[in-house]
Structure 1
Amino acid sequence: MTTLGTASAAPGEFDTGRLTVGETRDGTAVGLPVAVVNGDRDGDTIYMQAASDGDELNGVGVLRRVVPQLDPAEIAGEVRVVGVTNFHAFQVAEHRNPIDDTKLNRAYPGSANGSSSERIAHATFSAAEDADLIVDLHQGSTSRMINEVRVRCGRHHRLHDDCLELAKVFGCGHVLDQKGPEGQLARAGPDEGIPTIDPELGGSVGFDEESIQYGVDGVFNVLRYYGFLDGDVDTQPQTRAKDFDRYGSPVGGLVEFKQSLGDDVTEGDTLFEITDVFGTLKATVTADNDGIFWRTRRLPQVATGEYVCSVGTDVDTF
């Protein structure tokens, strides 16, 4: 029997339910939407979740397409899913949990007696800690970003190669291989011996269909490659960045980008220009290093020192 919150499925069954993580301010129980697929055949367990940040919706779009296609009769092992992780932030379409002003993906593995975010992290990590794989679906918030997968355990971690293999199988084409901050699920999972990846499915306001399709394809790649579903996966070489150069604006004004997301850039190439509202050039910013044009702000107006874009650096192919 596979159980996650109120969802319970015997071999060959599928069920949905709620995972209780606390109460709202009026005392109403808070339950995260969960699903379990218990395959007809024995196998491993995979845990997936989305919307750890409440305004990152592409992962939810992935799961609502993937889960209806998971027939227990075709599955080997167990699939556990939390469809919306950061309940409170999701309700108000904000990045951080408004109850404790915390970014949930800095709270893992959480605490049963902690803050709102720590309790959510504890409940969801408890559902994942005996899994064989973890896929934590994210996106680059509401900024503009390429589709990529993040390996956050650090290159000296004992599970680094396993996480990197999982990222390659997911197959977005780009991988950021950089140790993440404390409290990320993609760090807590490997520390418990579970290969974990953090797919960052573009960056958008609401759903982005292209990025969602990357995620759907990636999840099915993983399910097939690791034996949850029958079928072969032809893994493709991935472009990996091991660091970022972040660029802010030296002046206030309006941004005009001279590179497109995913472009190769060479040291000295112009990344963006800043003009005033009448089109007069105020500043030109060039690349400090070779790399890939990885992420940008969405709105054109910037103040002095405000974030503008990032270039992935120390690039190779694996």
Structure 2
Amino acid sequence: MITLGTARASPGETDTGRLEVGETRDGSPVRLPVAVINGAEDGETLYMQAVSDGDELNGLGVVNRVVPRLDPSELSGSVLVVGVVNYFGFQVAEHRNPIDDRKMNRGYPGDEDGTTSERIAHATFQAAKRADIILDLHQGSTSRMINETRVRCGIRHRLHSDCLELAKAFGCGHVLDIKGPDGQLARAGPEHGIPTIDPELGGCVGWDEESIRYGVEGVFNVLRHYGYLDGDVDLERQTRARGFDQYGSPAGGLVRFERDLGERVSTGDLLFEVTDVFGELKGRVTADDDGVFWRTRRLPQVAAGEYVCSVGTNVDQY
């Protein structure tokens, strides 16, 4: 029998339930939706979670598609799922937890006596620590972004190559291989000896079916590659960026992009122009380095100095 919160599954069974992680302001319990898929055959454990940022829903779309398709009679090992991590942010469609104004994915491994975010991080990390690999499903908030997978442990970490292999198995096509901030699950997992990746499934308002499809395929790729399911996975070469240049606007106005997401750019290439309301040119911004056009703001209007776009740099194939 494998349990997660109130979900209980014997070998060959699937169950859903709730994981209690604290209380709301009126004293009602906070219970996160969870699932357990317990394979008919023995094997390792995969942990997967989504919506640690409350407005990032593509990962939830992946969970919504993957769990019904996982047949425990065909599974070796088990899959533990937390469908919505940032309970409070999800309810109001906000990125951060509005109760403590914390970004959930900066609080791992958590604190059972801390703020609401730290308590949720602690409870979900206790589940994640039971696993052999971890998938923390994200998206580029509401920005426009390519589908990519992030390896956040840092190139000198003892599990760096294991995390890279996991990212390659997931197979979004692009990998951002840069050490992440303290408190990310993709940092805390490797610190506890568990290969972990942070798939960033595009960026949108609501959810995007193409990015969800990438995520669903990625999860099943991982399940096959690591022997949870039968089947072979061709590990295709990924485009990896090990640097990230961000660009702000030189003036207030309206942005006009000159590059498409995923397009290769060279030093000096025009990235975007800024015009006034009547179309008069106010500024141009060019690439500082060779790279891949990675991410942009969604709305065209900008103030002087406001974020506009990012280019992945130090690019190679692995």
Q: TM-score, normalised by structure 1?
A: 1.00
Deviation at 1:288, TM superposition (A): 0.3
- Tell me, what secondary structure is at the counterpart of 2:118? helix
Superposed CA deviations along residues 150-178 of structure 1, whole A, max 9, x for unmatched, are 00000000000000000000000000000
Deviation at 1:10, TM superposition (A): 1.0
Gaps of 5+ in 2: none
- Tell me, what secondary structure is at the counterpart of 2:162? helix
Q: TM-score, normalised by structure 2?
A: 1.00
Quick one: distance in 2 between partners of 1:25 and 1:130? Answer: 30
Quick one: distance in 2 between partners of 1:297 and 1:21? Answer: 34
Deviation at 1:241, TM superposition (A): 0.1
**Matched residue type, 1:14:** T
- Tell me, what secondary structure is at the counterpart of 1:218? helix
Residue 155 of structure 2 is matched in structure 1 by 155
Quick one: distance in 2 between partners of 1:20 and 1:52? Answer: 16
Extract structure 1 runs of 4+ deviating beyond 4 A: none
- Tell me, what secondary structure is at the counterpart of 2:304? coil
Residue 313 of structure 2 is matched in structure 1 by 313
Residue 143 of structure 2 is matched in structure 1 by 143
Quick one: distance in 2 between partners of 1:128 and 1:184? Answer: 13
Deviation at 1:27, TM superposition (A): 1.0
Residue 20 of structure 2 is matched in structure 1 by 20
- Tell me, what secondary structure is at the counterpart of 1:186? helix
- Tell me, what secondary structure is at the counterpart of 1:292? strand
Quick one: distance in 2 between partners of 1:143 and 1:13? Answer: 38
Counterparts of residues 152-231 of structure 1 (less than 5 Å): 152-231=152-231
Quick one: distance in 1 between partners of 2:316 and 2:234? Answer: 20
Task: Give the aligned length.
Answer: 318
Superposed CA deviations along residues 203-223 of structure 1, whole A, max 9, x for unmatched, are 000010000000000000000
1:56 has 2:71 as partner: no
- Tell me, what secondary structure is at the counterpart of 1:130? coil
Residue 294 of structure 1 is matched in structure 2 by 294
Deviation at 1:181, TM superposition (A): 0.1
Residue 9 of structure 2 is matched in structure 1 by 9
Quick one: distance in 2 between partners of 1:71 and 1:264? Answer: 40
Counterparts of residues 76-115 of structure 1 (less than 5 Å): 76-115=76-115
Deviation at 1:130, TM superposition (A): 2.2
Quick one: distance in 2 between partners of 1:113 and 1:26? Answer: 18
Quick one: distance in 2 between partners of 1:94 and 1:226? Answer: 35
Q: State, as a whole percentage, how many aligned pairs show the same letter.
A: 75
Superposed CA deviations along residues 69-90 of structure 1, whole A, max 9, x for unmatched, are 1111001001000000000000
Residue 39 of structure 1 is matched in structure 2 by 39
- Tell me, what secondary structure is at the counterpart of 2:216? helix
Quick one: distance in 2 between partners of 1:151 and 1:227? Answer: 22
**Matched residue type, 2:316:** D
Quick one: distance in 1 between partners of 2:284 and 2:80? Answer: 49
Deviation at 1:12, TM superposition (A): 1.1
- Tell me, what secondary structure is at the counterpart of 2:221? helix
Quick one: distance in 1 between partners of 2:19 and 2:137? Answer: 18
- Tell me, what secondary structure is at the counterpart of 2:251? coil
Deviation at 1:235, TM superposition (A): 1.1
- Tell me, what secondary structure is at the counterpart of 1:64? helix
- Tell me, what secondary structure is at the counterpart of 1:73? helix
Quick one: distance in 2 between partners of 1:243 and 1:142? Answer: 22
**Matched residue type, 2:225:** Y
- Tell me, what secondary structure is at the counterpart of 1:244? strand
Gaps of 5+ in 1: none
Residue 121 of structure 2 is matched in structure 1 by 121
